[in-house]
Amino acid sequence: MKFISTLEYLLELTAMFSVFFFLLGFPLSKNRYRLFSAFCLSVAWHIIWYRLPFSCPNTITAIIVMALLFNDKIQYKIYWGTLFIFTEAIVCKSISIILLMLVGITEEFPNFPAAYIDCITFVIMALISFFLKSYQEKCINFIHNINFIGYAAIMSVTIVDFILILSVPYIYYDKANETGRLVIVIAALLLIIMTVITLFLYFSLRHSYQKLRQMDAISQRSLELEKEQYLSLQQKNDDLRKFRHDFHNHIFSLQELAHKGKYKELAAYLSALSSEEIQTNIITVGNTIVDAVINHTVSKLDPSVQFHYGGQFSKNCFITDMDLCILFSNLLDNAREEIELCNMQNKEVNLEIFTDERKFMLMIENTSRPYKPEELFHLKTQKADKRNHGLGLINIRDVVNKYQGAMDIKYADGFFSVHISIQNLGT
């Protein structure tokens, strides 16, 4: 029996670790002291547990061990650890009841091997987490979008299901007739399933609503940028027409001053002409939406910031205008915000574009503060601080994943860079 208890304890830690690491995407701590403390605590608790004169669950110890193993806010680790414990209990009890119903034991509580079912449940949860690791990104996005009400709803439904499943054995072993017992038990199990489905539908509808709002906001932003681009072009065109209208008059005046030898007046006149600013440097890369986004961002940059760009859009680019707006607006906004926070003297933003009917490639880099390797790791795994690059990169990654593309984030030689490569899978 001690062997089974030890196995159950190890499988519980393994299953919880698998859920935290593979499914929820919690970053593993690199602090050796924390990792060593987690190991010592898990071993010490099991030794103490053997000597206790009464049975005591391993729940609290398992949650503390996970809190030491992973980096994230402590309240998140406690929440998901508690949710794991409740979920495991629900699954374990459900398996037990279904097995009892299949065997046909109805008269009394049997001495059923609960520890074995616990072990099976932990193995199932660990394997499911491992095989679902490819969905980790979607799971992380889902967690990022949960608000306080969502967290409360998940925990409330789980607790209700836990209470329901605990009450089922007492109903099942009542002296009611066999048909009545089966109906009550099946109804309770169906109610548990319905609560889970209802919760799933709630978050699915909420996610769809957020997507629709995001698409509407992007459409509005695109229209505003196009309008701003049009007004800017109109203003620059008017300035240029005015200058051309007066150009011949200016030439005639300069010739008269030179002919009469009034060189001081000539120098003053030339100085006045050179001080007139006629903005005609409009950036065009071959796409109306992207042109508007780039010119809007450049207009907000400090004049001391150098902006370099290269490449043109082909006429048959396969990326939609809405997705291009998401990519360029978020990348350029992140670059501009990073530049504003940077204390370096020589600041610049570099943009490179390549598109054809088969491939889309984009590189943007900006002068940046130094980034530590663990900070880049958080950005790459979407566990970034939303106040900085994190939120924009999540939206960018959604677009890249939509086209099954690749995105790489780097920091080198004072520059933060994002490289995006997408193949047209439809060709």
Cα(244)–Cα(242) distance, integer angstroms? 5
User: How far from chain centre, in Å, is Cα 128?
Assistant: 22
Q: pLDDT for 70-114, tens place per residue?
A: 988 888 889 899 999 999 888 888 888 787 777 765 554 455 567
Q: pLDDT for 205-220, tens place per residue?
A: 777 777 777 777 766 7
Strand, coil or helix: what is 332?
A: helix
Band the pLDDT of 1: cuts 50, 70, 90: low
Cβ-contact 104, 176 below 8 angstroms: no
Q: pLDDT for 154-203, tens place per residue?
A: 888 888 888 778 777 666 665 555 665 666 677 677 777 877 787 777 77
Q: pLDDT for 297-352, tens place per residue?
A: 888 888 889 999 999 998 888 888 888 888 998 899 889 888 888 888 889 999 99
User: How far from chain centre, in Å, is Cα 299?
Assistant: 29
Cβ-contact 409, 333 below 8 angstroms: no
Strand, coil or helix: what is 377?
A: helix
Q: Checking DSSP bridges between strand 359-367 and strand 415-423, what pairing results, if any?
A: antiparallel
Q: Quick one: tokens of 263?
A: 């060189």
DSSP string of 224-255, one letter each residue? HHHHHHHHHHHHHHHHHHHHHHHHHHHHHHHH
Strand, coil or helix: what is 210?
A: helix
What residues are paired with 407 via a beta bridge?
420
What number is the average pLDDT over the span 111-130? 84
The top-scoring range by mean pLDDT among 117-121, 223-227, 289-293 is: 117-121
Q: Which residue has the tokens 């065997």?
A: 103
Q: Quick one: tokens of 183?
A: 């109906």
Please give the pLDDT value at position 239.
64
Q: At what angle do helices 321-341 and 288-300 cross, to 10 degrees?
A: 10
Cβ-contact 362, 296 below 8 angstroms: no
Q: Which residue has the tokens 């499943």?
A: 165
Nearest alpha carbon to residue 369 among 332, 401, 411: 411
Least confident of 177-181, 260-264, 269-273, 392-396: 177-181
What number is the average pLDDT over the span 30-38? 89
- Looking at the whole model, is its pTM more than 0.75? no
